[in-house]
Structure 1
Amino acid sequence: MLVHYILTAILVVFLETRPGRAECPRGYKASSSGQRDPSTKSESQRILENFLNERDEATIRSTWNTAKKNGNIGPKTFLRYFELKPEAQKMFPAFAEVDHMKLPTNEDFLAQAQNCVSGLNSYVEHLGKNPKNCPFIAKAKGKYHHEDLKLLGVTLMGVLEEELGKGFTDETKEAWKKGLRAMNEAVTKRPNPSRR
């Protein structure tokens, strides 16, 4: 059901943001006076606001402003991810053969973890804006499989909860789940439809 909801939302957004259509922040349509009119939100915005709303975005930003200063989050997330899916380490040639126990002190591993934190930072900065303008989304689009991103997201959530403690409330968890789901949908590798 959730997948159907997400796919419907993405389809509606795609149809409403085709080239040649004017885009407006948060999907408000301009009235004849040129002012934003909240009562004329596009269908895509009504769907997406139930998915990731302004409050969720603010919660994610607030949490991230604290989390990004914690140098453990990136490395710890990847160490856990590699424990859960050891073959994923092979995707990183610079430390593909490094023993798991030596990763926390490996410069290439730490640089990659920091690079991923920077990508997540870019994503958080662009929440609520056109995803086409987010450098992280543009670079990552179509490169990752849904299940890999889902596992990485669950791993990140666990690390955030550990590292932030009581600051990672139930409301915060729900906002992050929505945000990571939206990111997953934006960058997941899609099969090429066959041409008939």
Structure 2
Amino acid sequence: MHLLSNILASKATLLLSRGTRTCDVAAELSTICALQGQVSRSRSRHSQELSWAKRDGSRNALVSTTTSLIINSVERSRMLSVKAFTEEQEALVVKSWNAMKKDAGELGMKFFLRVFEIAPSAQKLFSFLRGSDVSLEQNQKLKPHAKTVFVMTCESAVQLRKAGKVTVKDSSLKELGAVHFKYGVVPEHFDVVKFALLETIKDAVPEMWSPEMKNAWGEAYDKLVEAIQKEMKPSSGDS
């Protein structure tokens, strides 16, 4: 599955489940594509397909179209991301993390707010957000959690090449895996988080950002997700 394709498909499904008109959903998805600069050279053909989906009013047609809309533009990124984590990638990650580290708390919040902006339903995965009448920005439990997750993700990326594996403690990985399993986290959720993470880093270090840096952080994140998914099973307390 392709990252932005998954995000668009998830967004379409969410909006449609809320009763949003199909034409309005299609318009919003087109805007997201334009803002992210992910529309491929075959945009005109896909735009025509999108207009057909709007007229058709079919949920499956719309989701299918949004998935194919940017498939060509992300294929190259996906192919690059499967390469082994290199010394050059490590240098890019270390350089950018050193620049971001002092603002980890603020960036962690931006990271999580971006996740919730893309997928508002993800808030239901956090017990301290369910039923809360406090804004996300003012939630005192979200702030430290966001910083912890952001720092853990970045530190794992920094250590990836030297360690040859994700360096999060086994106990933490088991806990992360069990929690993700308990709350029904699916691959599309990880895709949304990856997109939000890369956008947060891009905004934090715009002068350093490059396709190579994007691939480096993307590869590191994929390794962390792979490690978490291996531990996605019920905890001993749930059995």
TM-score by length of 2: 0.52
In the alignment, which residue of structure 2 is the partner of 1:80? 114
Distance 1:121 1:141, change over 3 A: same
For residue 56 of structure 1, report the CA deviation from its aligned partner.
1.0
Distance 1:153 1:132, change over 3 A: closer
Give the conservation status (yes or no) of the 8 Å contact 2:92–2:216: yes
| Mapped pair 1:62 → 2:95 | yes
Give the conservation status (yes or no) of the 8 Å contact 1:67–1:164: yes
Q: Which residue, out of 195, 203, 206, partners 1:154?
A: 195
| Mapped pair 1:140 → 2:176 | yes
Give the conservation status (yes or no) of the 8 Å contact 1:145–1:188: no
- State how far apart, in whole Å, the 2-side matches of 1:107 and 1:116 are: 15
Give the conservation status (yes or no) of the 8 Å contact 1:81–1:151: yes
Give the conservation status (yes or no) of the 8 Å contact 1:75–1:113: yes
Give the conservation status (yes or no) of the 8 Å contact 2:153–2:221: no
For residue 131 of structure 1, report the CA deviation from its aligned partner.
3.1
For residue 125 of structure 1, report the CA deviation from its aligned partner.
4.2
Q: Tell me how many residue pairs correspond in the alignment.
A: 146
In the alignment, which residue of structure 1 is the partner of 2:41? none
Distance 1:133 1:116, change over 3 A: closer
Give the conservation status (yes or no) of the 8 Å contact 1:131–1:137: no
- State how far apart, in whole Å, the 2-side matches of 1:138 and 1:59 are: 29
Equivalent AA in structure 1 for residue 224 of structure 2: M
- State how far apart, in whole Å, the 2-side matches of 1:190 and 1:134 are: 12
Give the conservation status (yes or no) of the 8 Å contact 2:166–2:224: no
Query: In the TM superposition, what whole-angstrom CA distance separates every residue of 1:41-67 from its partner, at most 9, and x where no partner exists?
Result: xxxxxxx99321122122112211212
- State how far apart, in whole Å, the 2-side matches of 1:52 and 1:179 are: 7
In the alignment, which residue of structure 1 is the partner of 2:59? none
Q: Is there any run of 5+ residues in structure 2 with no aligned partner, and where?
A: 3-80, 234-239
- Counterparts in 2 of 1:37-116, with a 5 A limit? 50-70=83-103, 71-98=105-132, 102-116=135-149
- State how far apart, in whole Å, the 2-side matches of 1:96 and 1:109 are: 12
Query: Identity over aligned residues, as a percent?
Result: 24
Give the conservation status (yes or no) of the 8 Å contact 1:123–1:134: yes
Query: In the TM superposition, what whole-angstrom CA distance separates every residue of 1:107-150 from its partner, at most 9, and x where no partner exists?
Result: 11111111212321441343121537532545434635322111
- State how far apart, in whole Å, the 1-side matches of 2:133 and 2:207 are: 33
The more displaced of 140-149 and 113-122 is 140-149
Q: Is there any run of 5+ residues in structure 1 with no aligned partner, and where?
A: 3-47
Distance 1:169 1:188, change over 3 A: same
- State how far apart, in whole Å, the 2-side matches of 1:56 and 1:89 are: 32
